[in-house]
């Protein structure tokens, strides 16, 4: 992939934004790399660059924690290939937490 990849990363529903220092929407520019960016690599990048606290509430292993819905361009990521989905320029990735404290 030549050049940089730009996408929107949102955590705007269900409290996921609290893990990102209260910021609901991030426009990110991912650095160039030899292999194409996929959601798996994006999650690693998010953990290093965007998560401000308690990454264990967002990431489990190499994926998102159960209870976090992921939408890629408004479609369930299960229909897109989940972790293997190759990001395209201007993709919108939305994380929705269905986990609530009690």
* Residue with more model confidence, 11 or 96: 96
Q: Which residues make beta-bridge pairs with 9?
A: 26, 93
pLDDT over 90, % of the chain:
32
What gap in Å lies between CA 2 and CA 23, rounded to an integer?
Answer: 29
CB-CB contact of 9 with 26 (8 Å): yes
Walk me through the domains of the chain, giving residue ranges and CATH numbers: 4-97 (3.10.20.30)
Mean pLDDT of the 61-84 span: 93
| HSE-up (13 A, CA, CB side) for residue 42 | 29
Rounded to two decimals, what is the model's pTM?
0.83
Residue 24 gets which letter from DSSP? -
pLDDT for the residue 75: 94
């Amino acid at each position: 992939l030549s050049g940089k990849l730009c996408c929107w990363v949102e955590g705007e529903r269900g409290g996921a934004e609290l893990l990102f220092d209260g910021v609901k929407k991030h426009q990110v520019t991912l650095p160039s790399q030899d292999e194409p960016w996929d959601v798996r690599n994006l999650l690693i990048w998010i953990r290093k660059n965007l998560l401000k606290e308690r990454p264990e509430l967002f990431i489990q292993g190499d994926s998102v924690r159960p209870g976090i819905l992921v939408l890629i361009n408004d479609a369930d990521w299960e229909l897109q290939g989940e972790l293997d989905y190759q990001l395209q320029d201007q993709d919108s990735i939305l994380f929705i937490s269905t986990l609530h404290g009690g």
